[in-house]
Structure 1
């Protein structure tokens, strides 16, 4: 066919003349699918007049919005603005327009709706979709409805925007006042934030400076005060500030823990020193008792001397070991020297008696005249009991020179017998034995007639003494055997460390000496001494190394004393007492580390170190006194500052300068430092009281905002929307939350924001589900009409004239066109196409309901998903709008056979029921 005929027979709406196309529009019926498609093409015509007339035939803004995404032009925007603003008679109902506005993204249309909408609710809904601050300022200044102006002004948050709003909003004084008030709040918040940052920086610097100070009595209190001030601030610190705060806190903790450790160590050292003093007193008393017990004996035997010498050696080694660590006092040293001298005097007398024993025995046997000469050479002390040989010589000389009529002191003998009985009652075997021997000798020297009852009583006490000796020997015998086995095993053990071996050796010697002469024999003593000597020989090298170590420690102690003496000889007039205290404490620690030292130098060197420490303490006290005087001057300046006539800020700054000078001075004497600090701190507290009150006021305001936000969160947490049109309640809550911003910084505020965002998200999801359920409930209303169309389709397929199905009363507007299209499709459509479209709708509803899709419908699922994305330009449409479009298409699609519809309608019923039950 030629081009002429094609043009001749072509519809008028396709004519080349725009005027003809314009006139043809009046003859097109949009309810007919063919005419509807023609109108759609004319709505995209190249002529603006044709486009305007064609668009005037459409009253569905959802359809026009879909066209706008693909074919944007001025006439389409104008028609959309008329329909959405309600300025034309065929505009959709307000509820439908509000629903469309909730999904509208076009900025220009939203501005037009906000300015020209026929309803305040519509304008507010469009305003809520606007995010451009410039547009919000324009609406706050020029909109004709006061509520819209106020809502727009509330959403202007930037400082520049509020300034512009305060200048340009001449139409509404309330908007101007609101903008100015929010500007003032922003400035106040900025000033508060700046003040809090300055306070945080000040506290941080104070904490870092405090971490560098040495410990003082109020160190911990000052640290806790700074921590409370830091935690009381409402803003959130930066990462750098948090890092500096943690580092300074750790240094302060270390200072406190080091002081506690030092105090504990000093306490333990003092306790060990007291234990050493007690041990020394015990050692001296033991030596004194040993010498005193010898004086009370009747005669002196070899066992007594061996026991005395063993105790002297054991106690002497213990004394030297204690002196290596803790120098003794002069009094206890004098007592120890006297006891050692007494022991040595006994040993010297015994050595002389042993040397001349042979000569004395010969004199007693052959020449009594030489007895006096032997006794003179022995020179036995009168206060010591004689040996049996000397006692026999003296008795012989006394017998030769004695006077038979010498008086006998029976009362004194009776008292000595009482004392002997007392010793037996107490179980003191050694003292009782000596008393018994002495009494036995004295009674033997008396005439038999004078002994009387005294001899009988002495025999009874002698029997008790023998019983006690047997019992002690019975107990001590196994112990001596055990000690000999232990020391011989120790002598053979080469695996034990030398220090532990020497310590075990000393312990065994001490336990052996503690047994005294109980169950003692020469053979056992010889075995014990032989094993002890082998241990001494084995430890000779270790003793040498120990002596070398003691020599090195001696040199180190002497060098330490020289350094301290040099410091005291040339003191610094500005020396910090804390540094001097550290030197003193460190010197004491080093002195204890350089231990042990040789015994002969321990005492004089210890006295030298004590004198140096005393002089160093005097220097510390002198410098502390000077610092105390300087701090009293600072207190006087603080008192003058309290009474000074100046601003509170200047007074606070001057007080801070005084505090810095106070910290730089160091510490005064221990008792004086606390007293001065209490006075100075009280004055500073008075100066800072006004500032603290202001901070508390700001904290109360911040707490009030937090409480309001918490109340809002609790209210909306308990609220559950029951209808889809309750979104305004949620929007009001969002605006209320925005009005409470900015919240104070901190974890609680962040937690509130996260919880509020979660509540808003869940409530919006529920509103979407409610809207979807409401659309699903419309299926029950639509189904009778669809069933009537299916029945009409069945008559038409049987060849009968079914006619059009009448529209029920009050048919919703969005279904009227679909109803007309369904009647038209019955005459022109095919069942295959309709059944394919209905199958797609089933898949689309299944996707909306999150229900599984049959395997044979998988191609349709992909086709539906692609179509949904294409319609939304990459974004899925709102579920309720999509479901509404599905209902409209379900009504408009036909014809369909009753058999196919029976299969499909069961699936539709199940899916729509699932959608309706999602919010149950």
Structure 2
């Protein structure tokens, strides 16, 4: 930013820099005054000085010639060859008021030299800053927009790469390498997270679909049944979908349980539906014959329609019939009781197994496993009736007491954990890590130590404290260095404030380049943000000054932006007015002119500009969409006309072939000449007389229809003959005319010649292939 402001105003005087490859020669304090030369001696002097210029004179010689040259041309030529700053300053001083051309030349050279020095200094400062930013990016915990930040650094580095020294290049590339490694890791993590999110979405959609399907089935019309094939396909697809959505990812127990419940309900309903379809005939017979309740109840039990779902009409009727028999209801009650007894027995076996697992876990001192098994056993125990509980109550109480002992024992296990913390801290002290991450890990271990309640063992505490101090030592050096960085950043921020203040003091708002002013505003904010971290307290007054300077700069910028936004809004209004403008060509030309006007408008607020651009683009799109719509309408009308023409030709062709087939059928029974198209006799005459068999084969060849096995040899002969005569190409270009000629020959042949129904079928079958597809 400093170089940019300097370039705008050029008010500061650059410190003279001595050229490293030049040796400044001070002119002699006393100059011998030669005697007044004659004309020929002046020419000699001119020739001598021109010879000196033609060679490679030193900067001091050039300075002397630029001041004391015999001619104005020699002085100007010498001045143009000067590059040493001290010599340029000497010539500028002595030529002031004496030689205007030399003075202006060295003045311009000095100004160019100073600008180059400022540019080189700015490049070096920027290179140093880019190296710092790259190294900070490699270790930062802020990964937001990580890739764009890295790409921005690379883009800024590329034009300055040749100006960086070897060490700067090494540091920058090393930091970029670490950034790219970290970026790859972030991308892997992001892909994995996206994959897990996609799996979660698939699971949610599966559960939603199953839940919705079951709800629909529960409210299904009892007069009809859903398609079993559709339900079966749904079940299989959702099972596969769930397997893929749970592969290599964590699924909560509640989610898995919900899926299993929904899927089991769907399986039960599908199985019951299939059983109902298989038993429809039996149900009809039972209802028709008013069978006993035992048979109806047995069939209901076999079908086992799931609870909660609407009972189909057939089953409802069967159930009503079964309920007329009191003995059957009692039987059902007895069966329910028997079923309950079986459930209790099964539950008792489950409790027995769980207690065995709990006992094994307690013996192995597995606290977590024991806790889970005890909870499961207690839940199962609560589901038992009083008679079965007696068998397990004492044993469950005993194992519960053993678990409490194991839990108490856990409280005395802190010493091994503290030893483990010491070992972890000692290991951490030996590991090379990024200082901030290492300091964070040290805090975590110290927190774990405190959560254990400390230690009464003094030696153990000293061991942990010593390891902590050793691990933190490189972190302390890092934070000390970071403190120095904070001070440097404060100094940088002071410079930024000074540059901003100087810019505001010298700017002429009446003739300012608004884009450059906006760029200075942005650059100041970026450089201020880049000069971080800083000490909060020391930065407070600087921050207030910076904010105040920014406000002074933002106020006129905002006024200019608002003015330009009003101009763009006017362009938008004019564009929207052109949407329905006629003629269309004139609207499009004006829209193009408005686009050019848009580009010429100056700075605006980014968000407002996006809104205005969106509205402007929408209006322009609507204008040009009218052109596209008209083109599409014309094309559609043309395609529709072509399609209608094709349809008319197809209908005409179909009618023609049907007419031929009707004449073929009439030829079988005709006793008098057929009423055929007027041009058929001419077609027959041009074709000549052909055997009936050849006519059939030629039509089958023409239409690609198979000939009977007995006619295959003759078909081959005709094909060879056609190739030899060159007839194939003519028929392929107009097969319909060729087919008409063959049909006409068959229909108008000698009435005394025998024709068979089989011949007619062969002809009609071949003609069917020429019919257009419907």
Tell me the TM-score range normalised by the shorter chain: 0.3 to 0.5
TM-score between the two structures when normalised by the length of structure 1:
0.29
TM-score between the two structures when normalised by the length of structure 2:
0.34
Higher Rg of the two aligned structures:
1
Q: Greater RCO between the two (CA within 8 Å, min separation 6)?
A: 1
